[in-house]
Amino acid sequence: MSLREDDPRSVGGHRIEARIGTGGMGVVYLARSASGRAVAVKVVHARFADNAEFRARFRQEIAAARRVSGAFTAPVVDADPDAERPWMATAYVPGRTLAERVTESGPLDWPALHRLGTELAEALREIHRAEVVHRDLKPSNVLLLDEEGDDGAVRVIDFGISRAASSDVRTQTGMVMGSPPFMAPEQFSRPREVGPAVDVFSLGALLVYAATGRSPFEADNAYVAAYNTVHSEPELGGLPEPARRLVTACLAKDPAARPTPGEVLEALAKLPGAPARTRDSGDPGSPGAAGSRDERGNAGAPPLPPGAGATVLSESAGRRVGHRRWVAIAAALLLGAAGTTAAVLSLGPTNDAVPRTVTGSTTRTTPAGWQPWRTTLGRDDEVRAGPSLSPSCTPDALGVFCSTPEAALLRLSPTTGRVDWTRPMKDRGVLGPAVSRPVVHDGLVYVRSADAARGVDAFDGRTGKRLWHLDGPVAEFSYLSGVLVARLDEFGASKSADYAAYDPRTGEQVWRRELASASPSPFHAGAEGMLYADLRGGSGPIARIDARTGRTLGTVTAPEGDLWLATVHDGTAYYARWEDGTGVSAAFFIQDLETGRTRRIDFPWSVEPEAPPLVHGDTMYLFDYGNEALLALDLKRGKPLWTSSRELRVFGEPALHDGRLYVNMPDTSVLALDPRTGEEIGRTDPPFDTAGRSFEELSPSPVPPLPAKGVLYGVNDLGVFSVADVS
């Protein structure tokens, strides 16, 4: 990629020649040292320069890369985490990633596969000896050096989310991180407790990929890949017979049952048909060192002339749906099936479980008898122990509705925070209850049924009376355009599924039809009585569907490319374009769903739009997970209006109400911003004490604050609260 006007021309004495890649945290450049040596320089985005915690993360990445520098990893040439914009330089060597090698040349034969397994096992042995766990071993993080026209020695690169055994600093914001088709099951259930065994699991998955071109848990999106990893047996496909037993052991669900890298080496040496000689890690003939990558694991191309571009492979469609958000939701689903759930994450819909735009004027006079309140609903001990068995809640003007392992549904009083009524679980069932965030609309509450059937129950939000019941299994459900839409199958069963719409008050089925789609949540709300269905990857276009009859009214062809249909608003679709499969986006495509006319808006930097943006009038508000910032875009001019200050560190999706934007903050306070300028109007006092908790122990809230009758209701990692609205 050619340099841009604002790119540096020199970093730490290294002359910048071209861009290699970019991500949510920084940019990677091809550069030359004073002696002419090719290096890859990662430079942190300017907005993170004053963030002390981010600098600590970056120092950890540098330290991890230095600790493991060796024959099979990327040596650090130079670094300065204390520079005005922190940077790190590693040696740059031509080569292909394993992903590129398999895509361009096909699966590896047995001798090449044996060599790959041996060198990866040696690399992991050295990494683990340095007391570092990589945690994101995947095809784009394995570099195969060029050697006489063939792929040579292995280099393991990108320690951006690695963890040293002695370090408490994380590079994730309390969320599950990694690449689902190659992650170990425990990375979804116990992400803060993972050990070296996760890398061995990834090694097994890599060998299957190298031999077959597919992960053993391949799926169309990260959600299903995560489900397959935890619940399904691996698909080994055409993996050579000599390796099947070893790879199966590496892919054991129980970390304790997996071999160590040393044991993998011993087993490979004994396999029949192994090459007589594999490269020794100390072979002086090995090409000298590591390739360059951006922080997302994108591959550096062969040596680049100034201004040349690097070809980067999108490795899996799984990251097309907002990577970290989907993985977090998947974790909730997987844990819910085992009797636990991730804190405040939804098994049900994500489109409008909580309304994010509230219209009409309100007074900020608080209701009679109201006092600020907070409740943990018994989650204090659970938060200390980990994100399990936690309630999942939805605030509403009627109160806060919660689902817990003990209660199918309960309502907290909007005035006192005390439990008004509760509907207990009827039958935990063999698999245990599924805790899902309640869907609330117009006084009705929809929640996962209180039995093992995994259906849906509808309740009167005022009285708690159950109005109707839908038998399961129901993979997901949401209130959209005047009907309750449900997918009538087990989650992840197939691309093609039966969908049905129900009268929200009576439960009467109004239509049912089979649809094929690559999206696990294909429906979006239109105007009252109109649905939009994303049928790409299945039966084709974006379809306009009559919400009352299920009849297709028309279709429009979506823009081409690796696009995620993030949201639909007022008959317009908003697609995020992924950058080379990295999970970050540089642009949005905006399409009129009547005419098909499409235009593009470029972002001022690469963002992580992992939740649907909030569109109001001619403005889009986007929560950038990677940069923990709020971005406002003028949709008419296609230009940014403002971004939140780097000091604010936004911690959740926004809600727009009565001329104010409300967002959650890491200290559990709620911030009010002017939606026109991004200027701070005020903030509430934190309802919870976060003293003693590092930022990395908390998770961004997936539930925006809800203003109602002069008070704010909120849900965060620590509990549920109500505070006075910002005056």
pLDDT tens across 667-722, in order?
A: 899 999 999 988 889 999 999 988 776 665 677 787 899 998 889 999 988 889 99
Mean pLDDT, the chain, integer: 76
CA angle 693, 399, 413 (to 5 degrees): 85
Amino acid identity for residue 175 in this structure: M
Q: What is the pLDDT of residue 335?
A: 35
pLDDT over threshold 90, residue 146:
no
Q: Is the pLDDT of residue 59 over 70?
A: yes
pLDDT for 104 beyond 70: yes
Q: Which pLDDT does position 298 carry in this prediction?
A: 32
Q: What's residue 450's pLDDT? A: 75
Q: Name which of 675, 642, 635, 680 is nearest 659 in CA terms.
A: 675
Q: Which residues of 360-388 are buried (b: 16+ CB within 10 A; e: fewer)?
A: eeeeeebeeebeebbbbbebeebbeebbb
Closest alpha carbon to 33 in 7, 13, 3, 8: 13
> 589 has which bridge partners?
575, 600
CA distances from 121 to 154, 155, 555, 598 (A): 10, 11, 51, 48
> Cα–Cα distance between 141 and 210 in angstroms, integer?
13
Q: Which homologous superfamily does the CATH classification assign to the domain defined by 10-321?
A: Transferase(Phosphotransferase) domain 1 (1.10.510.10)
Which residue intervals of 215-275 are DSSP H helices?
A: 222-231, 241-250, 261-270
Question: Over the stretch 588-636, which tens digit does the pLDDT of each residue have?
Answer: 899 999 999 999 988 766 777 778 899 999 999 988 877 778 889 999 8
The pLDDT score that the predictor gives to residue 276 is 43
Give the residue, 247 or 315, on which the prediction is more confident.
247
Does residue 207 carry a pLDDT above 80?
yes
* 675, two tokens: 């939606």
Give the model's pLDDT for residue 445.
Answer: 96
CA dist 360 to 116, 353, 414, Å? 62, 20, 20
* Measured distance CA(81)–CA(302) in Å, rounded: 27
Alpha helix stretches (DSSP H) within 186-316: 186-189, 197-212, 222-231, 241-250, 261-270
| CA angle 217–178–200, rounded 5-degree value | 65
Instruction: List Cβ neighbours of 233 (8 Å cut-off, separation of 6 or more).
Output: none
Closest CA to 65 of 54, 53, 75: 75
Question: For the segment 184-198, what is each residue's pLDDT rounded down to a tens digit?
Answer: 888 876 655 678 999
What is the average per-residue pLDDT within 432-449?
A: 83
Confidence of residue 260 (pLDDT cuts 50, 70, 90): very high
Per-residue pLDDT at 433 exceeds 60: no
Residue 330 scores a pLDDT above 60 = no
Burial of residue 262 (CB within 10 Å: 0-12, 13-18, 19+) is: middle
pLDDT-derived band at 418 (thresholds 50, 70, 90) equals very high
Once rounded to an integer, what is the mean pLDDT over residues 643-670? Answer: 85
pLDDT in tens, 481-530: 999 999 998 765 567 889 999 999 999 999 999 998 888 789 999 988 99
pLDDT of residue 58: 78
| Nearest Cα residue to 513 out of 496, 536, 530, 492 | 496
* Percent with pLDDT over 90 in the chain: 34
Q: Say whether 99 sits in a helix, a strand or coil.
A: helix
pLDDT band at 82 (very low <50, low <70, confident <90, very high): confident
pLDDT given for residue 695 in this prediction: 60
Q: Is the pLDDT of residue 443 over 70?
A: yes
- Rounded-to-5 percentages of helix, strand, coil across the chain: 20, 30, 50
More confident residue, 538 or 129: 129
Decide if 318 contacts 220 (C-beta within 8 A): yes
In Å, what is the CA distance from 154 to each residue of 160, 198, 203, 278, 281? Answer: 19, 19, 13, 12, 10
pTM over 0.75: no
The predicted structure's pLDDT at residue 551: 96
Instruction: Decide which of 274 and 578 is more confident.
Output: 578
Percent of the chain scoring above 70 in pLDDT: 73
Quick check: bond before 686 cis, omega within 30? no
Q: 550-559, 651-660, 692-701: which has the highest mean pLDDT?
A: 550-559
- Please tell me the least confidently modeled range out of 305-314, 557-566, 572-581: 305-314
3-state secondary structure of 54: helix
Q: What angle do CA 623, 624, 625 make, to 5 degrees?
A: 105
Mean pLDDT on 378-383: 46
Residue 441 belongs to what H/E stretch? Answer: strand 439-441
